[in-house]
Amino acid sequence: MKKILVLCTGNSCRSQLAEGYLRAFAEDKAEIYSAGIETHGVNPKAIQVMKEDGIDISNHTSNHVDEYDHIDFDYVITVCDNAKESCPFFPTKAQKFHHNFPDPAKATGTNEEVMNQFRAVRDEVKAYAEEFVSKHINVDNYAGR
């Protein structure tokens, strides 16, 4: 079974969204973890927008990357430039991937404008996670979508 770590700055939004979608798309074919180079707690708006799409991340926790230094990951996905630049060395064979998603926690405006930013990032993360699982976990099912 493949082990995937999603790494972000605070493990509060982007990495939580990615963990939720990777779990949903990979089902029982991979173990998914998320962590931050800091921990900021899971953002309630991230929980809300995932719930809108039928995925419950309300039991997720915000974890520090050091908690997982004993796991031999197959894949490490950084989802923000800060995490990529600050990524600790993993003594592992893990393939590293990177996609810089906008940080919805930095969105400004009315509550609806902020929520729309969260939804936009959620949808971008969802598309990335679905493609990642198709290419790297469900390789037999990947048809070059």
Task: Write out the two tokens for 99.
Answer: 């996609």
Catalytic residues: 8, 14
Which tens digit of pLDDT belongs to each residue from 44-85?
A: 999 999 999 999 999 999 999 999 989 999 999 999 877 666
DSSP code at position 106? G
Query: Which residues in the chain show pLDDT less than 50?
Result: 141-145
Find the CATH number of the domain harbouring 34.
Answer: 3.40.50.2300
130 phi, psi to nearest 5 deg: -65, -45
pTM of the model: 0.91
Domain range for 23: 2-141
Say what the pLDDT of residue 9 is.
87
Say what the pLDDT of residue 125 is.
98
Angle between helix 111-136 and helix 14-26 axes, rounded to 10 deg = 40
Distances (CA, A) of 75 to 34, 114, 128: 12, 31, 14
H-assigned helices in 2-100? 14-26, 44-52, 81-86
Say what the pLDDT of residue 141 is.
47
What is the total count of domains within the chain? 1
